[in-house]
Structure 1
Amino acid sequence: MASTTGRPRDSRRRLDQRGWIFVAPFAIVFALTFLAPIGYAVQLSLFQDQAFFGGTAFVGLDNYVLLFSDTRFWSGFLRVMIFLAVQVPIMLVLALVAALAIDSARLHAAGFFRIVIFLPYAVPAVVATLMWGYMYGTNFGLAADLNDLFGSEIRPLSLDWALASIGNIVTWEFVGYNMIIFYSGLRVISGELYEAAALDGAGPFRTIFSIKLPALRGAIVIATIFSIIGSFQLFNEPNILRGLIPNVLTTDYTPNMYAFYLSFGGQQYNYAATVAIVMGVITAVIAYVVQLRGARKGT
């Protein structure tokens, strides 16, 4: 009996060992490309440069205490929060409307419109920002032409409109990406639900609110989380436009720009690591809260 009971345990151990062999390549890459950089950033954030003596010294949480009283960081963080609160809902609503329109049988050439809406996502962020930057120019481009045509003084790159102009670029870039997420969710809805709704006399709007939107709850949560993460990572668009309006888009316009210029412009690697760690924690917490709320509403 002892020998027969020992064989299943031995076989399980062998399977476990083989499983670790298959998982090992991913675990090694994950540790080297994800865990190790985070650990190194945390280590950097616990030190400060010694101006007079050279080298670095361990200061514990002093960098974090300094960051929480840094007005430049919090002004950029507030700016990103405003960007998130305004731009993300507009972008997701536009993407949802586009997905619903393409999924409906009433839109002709749906495949063409799907490609056209998704095409801006294939344009690199640098190219898209430069293209819109030239259109925003008040001495040339589309904004200048509109000013001449209507006798107006539209200044998309002014201090009051710079954040909205960046939001327009980001929306143009990522509406198609989110539309594909929503459209994929719509395509997996069972046709029997539509047939049952038609038999009950449900119209198009009733079908959208009773069948399509509830089925898209998971996709909406995913798109929202991705958009939140992308908003906190805002860097390319303002950093590229900064070449056109350096007095408006300063080096601390967003937290990511602040960390970048602290590190590569000011050689303050330790404090830049602190900014990166704090932003990473804030982003993870907010994304996790959104995921929990979405999961609770789905149950």
Structure 2
Amino acid sequence: MLPFFLLFLAVTIAPIVYAGWMSLFREETSGLGFGGTERVFTGVENFTRALTDDLFLASFGHIALYCALYIPIMIGTSLGLALLVDSALARAKRFFQIAFYMPHAVPGLVASVVWIFLYTPGLSPVHDLIEGLGASWNFFGEDEAIWSIINISAWQWIGYNMIIFYAGLQAIPGETIEAARVDGAGALRTALQIKVPMIRSTVVLTLLFTIVGAIQLFDAPQLLVKYANSLGAEWSPTMFIYATAFQRHDYGVAAASSLLLALVAGLLSFGVTKLGNRWKES
């Protein structure tokens, strides 16, 4: 266990402590920048500035909308595919497991670049197909950009979560499924009333990881912002933190914002776990 705890201390605990220390200071320059930089203790001022920043607060609203649209699509599709692959009528199960998982093997940054190519008019065969059908769609439009982000995330994570759900389905005792069939339950009823309730723990765990990952969304919107100006450079909390630290060089507010984001993630994790436990007990 010692190597794990040493690594955990070095890459998780130490950065959190350092961020907490940075959040209590701000850097001031004098003499038009020629007088050097002085670090001044500010207490909770950086937290106050973050909590009163309209862009920071709006970024949580954007992520809330993203989660409301993305999570049902991702969880529902992953679970549906897992049930299909697990069904008695499915053939070539190993092939479909690998095929669905393959998009997750592509790094998020590379996947975003590929999809931006597919979103770009004049380059994308997808645009040619849409126009050939007599329709039009602006993937970088003000209302459409969030769906472009959701598509990238869903494409990358549906297969991964499908494998998790499928593994949970494999743990269901075969006699339970056979008893349901003997009692006259069809395939759909068996899936919804027998299989899904028996993998509640897996569904809750996947939902928890999805929410925590969603509020840390960065790669796709950070690349799309260059083409979809409506997103803004501070569209998500992580983008706000990145812009604050490396564009405005306000490391104190960036550190405070990071800790606030971690707090939100912790509260959401606690809430999902409590609701999940109630669902499992019911």
Could you tell me the TM-score, scaled by structure 1's length? 0.88
Which residue of the partner structure matches residue 32 of structure 1?
A: 10
- Secondary structure (helix, strand or coil) at the match of 1:250 reads coil
Which residue of the partner structure matches residue 261 of structure 1?
A: 243
Q: 1:114 aligned to 2:97?
A: yes
Aligned pair count reads 276
Q: 1:275 aligned to 2:257?
A: yes
Does the C-alpha gap of structure 1 residues 148 and 89 become closer, same or farther in structure 2, counting only changes over 3 Å? closer
Bigger Cα displacement from structure 2, 202-211 vs 77-86: 202-211
Question: Are the counterparts in 2 of residues 143 and 155 from structure 1 also a CA contact under 8 Å?
Answer: no
Does the C-alpha gap of structure 1 residues 144 and 30 become closer, same or farther in structure 2, counting only changes over 3 Å? closer
For 2:7 and 2:177, how far apart are their aligned partners in 1?
46
- Secondary structure (helix, strand or coil) at the match of 2:40 reads strand
Which residue of the partner structure matches residue 27 of structure 2?
A: 49
Matches within 5 A, 1:192-231: 192-231=175-214
For 1:223 and 1:239, how far apart are their aligned partners in 2?
25
- Secondary structure (helix, strand or coil) at the match of 2:226 reads coil
Code of the residue aligned with 1:294 in structure 2: it is G
Does 1 or 2 have the higher relative contact order (CA < 8 Å, sep 6+)? 2
For 1:31 and 1:111, how far apart are their aligned partners in 2?
39
Question: Are the counterparts in 2 of residues 143 and 154 from structure 1 also a CA contact under 8 Å?
Answer: no
For 1:85 and 1:106, how far apart are their aligned partners in 2?
33
For 1:73 and 1:143, how far apart are their aligned partners in 2?
34
> Which one of 130, 136, 149 corresponds to residue 166 of structure 1?
149
Code of the residue aligned with 2:239 in structure 1: it is M
Which residue of the partner structure matches residue 8 of structure 1?
A: none
Matches within 5 A, 1:10-29: 23-29=1-7
> What residue ranges of structure 1 are gaps of 5+ in the alignment?
1-22
Bigger Cα displacement from structure 2, 285-294 vs 105-114: 105-114
For 1:230 and 1:88, how far apart are their aligned partners in 2?
11
After superposition, what is the alpha-carbon deviation per residue over 1:12-34, rounded to whole angstroms, capped at 9, x for unaligned?
xxxxxxxxxxx444333322221
Matches within 5 A, 1:64-103: 64-103=47-86
Which residue of the partner structure matches residue 295 of structure 1?
A: 277
> What residue ranges of structure 2 are gaps of 5+ in the alignment?
none
Q: 1:285 aligned to 2:267?
A: yes
Give the number of the structure whose alpha-carbon radius of gyration is greater.
1
CA RMSD of aligned residues (A): 1.5
Q: 1:182 aligned to 2:165?
A: yes
After superposition, what is the alpha-carbon deviation per residue over 1:79-115, rounded to whole angstroms, capped at 9, x for unaligned?
0110011101111100000000000011222222221
